[in-house]
Structure 1
Amino acid sequence: MFETGHGEACSVNGVSYKIKKLLGKGKGGYSYLAVKDGKEYVLKQIHHEPCAYYQFGDKIQSEINDYRRLTAIGIRMPKMIDADIDKERIVKEYIDGETIYELVARDQMDPDYIRQVKAMCELLYPAKTNIDYFPTNFVVHDGELFYIDYECNDYMEEWNFENWGIKYWSKTPEFLEYYKEHM
């Protein structure tokens, strides 16, 4: 994690990016909004903090492998620009927009976004793959839904969208409990 975030320089394979702000922290890393030559990117720094409910192997290689897997399946997501294996950093395209989480919290969820995630499922399930359907992992840009994480796993019915993810795509008790704990 970068100490100050804003204005700090960060190198990825010898290319310097200027950190603008922290976008969020996930199970595997910190994501920052970064700038190079006037263009915005997401720079993800892998972390090794414990996660009680998820087991990791080689996190950086998993990110790369998952990106390749989801690209082959045809999931709409940001392009991976670079990966620095030694420093455990990834640079990816920045998709500007609001997350599904933000839209649900403000009662601005459009039913078309559910249709779009189900269309992703129609690609994922035959490929025996699940993604992390938590609403912070999805951004809407110009009406299109993007999966902005690269995490994916072998398909398990209990973790598919219909059995787990949907619980967080509206103001369900599960969503409200999470929202209350993370306000």
Structure 2
Amino acid sequence: MKRLHRPDLFCWSTFVERLDIDFNGFAWVREGGNVLVDPLPLSEHDRKHLRQLGGAAWIVVTNSSHVRGAKEIAAEFGCRIAGPSAERETFPISCDRWLKEGEDFLPGLRVHELEGSKTPGELAVVLDDTTLISGDLLRSHRAGELMLLKPEQGLKDPGRAAASLRRLLSYERLQALLLGDGWCVFRDGRKQLEEFLSPLN
């Protein structure tokens, strides 16, 4: 796994040829049990690293298109799964908890629901008011440039999508944007998000 901007955050990735980008999974190492967000299937190297970090207690799946390796990792490491409440009736795997807007899932980790994406109530989580971890809606297919999921990829309502992302600008100390698809941002995240959203309706 790759070390990120904080000593308690790690990432592992898979290159997706049809999009020419990386898909990313994230690990937050914490007392009381580590948390994975949208975890990809583990290579043997990453599996060993995760064990060295203490395994995982929880997996957060941001939307039904990002189940990825969650079910298999949960079975292997004995962790529980949390998913988006808005998809509760149709989610493809069993979840132990359903997350909603404004919920403090764990100390320091707040849940937000994003609208207008390809699935209802897609989750994003904010860690310590400084680090956003998101799934499908907000992405970056070119380094230094944010973008939305495209309509041909399932975006349903660009206006609602932009409005839900604007709510995240309330985090004045937001610095890092950890994106499930594409390049991540590690500095000036709030400024970059605000500049990206400015021309959008």
Normalised by the length of structure 2, the TM-score is: 0.27
Normalised by the length of structure 1, the TM-score is: 0.29
- Higher normalized helix content (fraction of residues): 1
Q: Which has the higher contact order (CA 8 A, sep 6+)?
A: 1
